[in-house]
Structure formats: C-alpha cells, structure tokens
Amino acid sequence: MNILLTGGAGYIGSHTAIELIEAGHNAVIADNFVNSNPSIVKRMNEIIGQTIPFYNIDVADVAALDEVFCKHKIDAVIHFAGLKAVGESVQIPVKYYRNNIDSTLSLLEIMAKHNVHTFIFSSSATVYGNMNNIPYIENMHVGHCSSPYAWTKLFIEQILADVAAVNSDFSVVLLRYFNPVGAHPSGKIGENPNGIPNNLFPYISQVAIGKLAELKIFGNDYPTKDGTGVRDYIHVVDLAKGHVAALEYAEKHKGVEAINLGTGTGYSVLDIVKTFEQTNNIKIPYQIVSRRAGDIAEYYADVSKALLLLNWKAKKTLADMCRDTWRWQTQNPDGYEK
C-alpha cells in the first residue's frame, strides 16, 4: 500500500515510515519541519537503502496537499502532523487548536476528493483525562483533559468518528499512545526535542551526556510504589510496528476503533533512573523537587484490545529503551544537523 505520513519526518513518524517500508509498503512524507528537519529524511533513506519521497508542506495548505495526492496514488493516511508540546499548548491554545484541527480538516477534504478512506490517527493517552481508574481501557469515558494539546487530540477523535458515521467505507483507527521513548537501534534517528527537554527520557540522556547538570524529579510524595510518578513507557520501534498492524487491520475493517499502544506495565521515575544507570553503566545525579503542575500520579494501558484486534503487543524491554536512547544520544550529542 502507498501510505501518506503527515508529520512523517518527526520522532514517531520517521520510525513508522521505516517499519512500513520494511513491511513492504511505500511511504510518502508531508512535513513542514516545524518539529524536525530534512536531515532526518536523509538518515531514514540511509537506514532503508532507498529514497522516500517527501514534501515540505503545511498539511493545512489544501492546494499543496492536493498536489501530493495528484502525484501519488495514496491508499491510506497516517496523521502525525500537529503541535505536541503540552506545556506550550497551555500558553498558546489558539495556535494549537488552529494548527492541529485545521490540518486535520484540510486532510479530510483532500482525502474525500481523492477517494481515500483509511485514516490512522496519532492520538494520545491524555484523552483519558485525570478521572479514570487505571489501567486505561478504550471504552472508558474520555475528557477532563489537562491541556489544550490533549483536547485537540480528543476533538480530532470526535471529528473522525463523525466522518465515519456518514461514510460507510471510511475506516479509522485512533491510536492512543502512552509514553513513547527510545530510538532506532541504528542510532541514526531518535528523539530530538527543541531546547530543554520536557520529557523524562531525553532529559535523563542529556544529563548522562553532560549537557544538563542533574535530573529534577518532580515529586516523590505521590501514592505510588516509591512516591515518584508512574507511566507506561513504550519503545518507539514497538509503537511504529503497532501502526503497521493498525494499517493492515484498517484495510480489512470499516468504522472507528480506538486502540491503546502501550506495554501494560507502569514504571516509576526512580525505576527509569535505576534502569538507565544499570543498562548504560552511568550515574544520573538527581534532586527531588516539587510536583509539576498537571502531572498525575500513575497511568498505564490495558493492552488487550491491541492484541485481540491487531495481534500486536510491545516486545522491547525497559533496558532496550534505555540502551537505544543512550546510543542515539552518544552518536548525536547535539541532535540532528541543522
């Protein structure tokens, strides 16, 4: 199948493009490089030994998007493109709603024009909000989101459900990611946050390589096994393979399915520090500080639906996540070339 990946040069998009091609599909990338740059596509080509067609466009630009669909017979779309910094979304909500929702509406218009009916959406566990028991299950109530970023994911899920309700040939899979971490085992592509990382794994790896002095652990007074926050970390390569499985499911089924992509296991911040240190034989200095606004104590996925519908489950271990993160960091101390 010919798959268009919007935001396909980003962290998860780039890893997914590689798994799609290795599974025998063809990938086309549309990306405005707001969270990435063309050097990533060059490295992707090195990993797979072929040239992936890419278009430096804003997905909200219908004319530019239409041109891509005219040039390539697209069979399905995986929609990664979107602004994704939770904290930033609180500061500039209008930009997040405008960007994330407009790009989706433009994409849906052009897909309809070209009779493309298969849509895999990069959603997030944050749509479960902070009112649900754990583990999170797909049929739970969604809402009570803690950021505009999370609300954009939930609004887009609703838009896709409404479109599917009046298009019997439309097939949508809403992939609710837990905490994607790690890097391709080649060390050529990985997580490349702009500025000081907000997320735990890239922050730890920058402490390990000496770019940051110490890890600040946001609270150790949560009602968890050791007081620090617990999350469901999933290796980005497992996550990418989950997209391939979702695509192949969507090709055979119509309607809308929400599916968790996680491991089903929660690890605390101190678990991550310890595993990172042991796996990479390196010390991570840290200091316990006050809780971060918006954080919740613990969440992880119920992963039975992904196994049942997609015959997919995460295979990589926490040590794999730490090892691959460190290999990417040591091979690319300053991230991608600009």
| Residue of 22, 295, 331, 333 that binds ligand WQD (CB under 6 A) | 295
Q: Does 216 bind ligand WQD (CB under 6 A)?
A: yes
Tokens of 72: 């390539």
Q: How many other C-beta atoms lie within 10 A of the C-beta of residue 338?
A: 6
Q: Does 328 bind ligand WQD (CB under 6 A)?
A: no
Which of 181, 174, 189, 191 has the alpha carbon at shortest distance from 78?
Answer: 174
- Among the listed residues 149, 203, 249, 299, the single catalytic one is 149
In a 3-state reduction of DSSP, which class is residue 227? coil
Q: Are 200 and 228 in contact (CB under 8 A)?
A: no
Residue with smaller CB distance to ligand WQD, 218 or 254: 218
Q: In 3-state terms, the chain is what percent helix, strand and coil (to 5)?
A: 40, 15, 40
Residue with smaller CB distance to ligand WQD, 48 or 288: 288
Residue with smaller CB distance to ligand WQD, 117 or 231: 231
Q: Does 329 bind ligand WQD (CB under 6 A)?
A: no
Residue with smaller CB distance to ligand WQD, 136 or 203: 203
Which of these segments, 72-80, 157-165, 214-222, 246-254, binds ligand WQD (CB under 6 A)?
214-222
Which of 194, 189, 223, 218 has the alpha carbon at shortest distance from 206?
Answer: 194
Q: Does 217 bind ligand WQD (CB under 6 A)?
A: yes
Residue with smaller CB distance to ligand WQD, 13 or 21: 13
Element holding 124 (H helix, E strand): strand 118-124
Residue with smaller CB distance to ligand WQD, 15 or 231: 231
Which of 63, 17, 13 has the alpha carbon at shortest distance from 33?
Answer: 13
What string of DSSP letters covers 165-192? HT-TT-EEEEEEE-EEE---TTSSS---
Interface map 73-112 toward ligand WQD (x if CB under 6 A):
-----------x-x--------------------------
| Residue of 231, 241, 243, 316 that binds ligand WQD (CB under 6 A) | 231
Q: H helices within the chain, ranges in order? A: 11-22, 38-48, 62-71, 86-91, 93-113, 148-165, 200-208, 236-252, 269-280, 304-305, 318-331
In a 3-state reduction of DSSP, which class is residue 4? strand
Q: Does 177 bind ligand WQD (CB under 6 A)?
A: yes
| Residue of 187, 218, 277, 309 that binds ligand WQD (CB under 6 A) | 218
Backbone angles phi, psi at 296, to 5 degrees: -115, 165
| Residue of 8, 190, 229, 264 that binds ligand WQD (CB under 6 A) | 229
Q: Is 233 a catalytic residue?
A: no
Question: What is the identity of the amino acid at 5?
Answer: L
Residues with catalytic annotation? 149
Contact residues toward ligand WQD (CB under 6 A) are: 84, 86, 124, 126, 177, 179, 198-200, 203, 216-218, 229, 231, 269, 292, 295
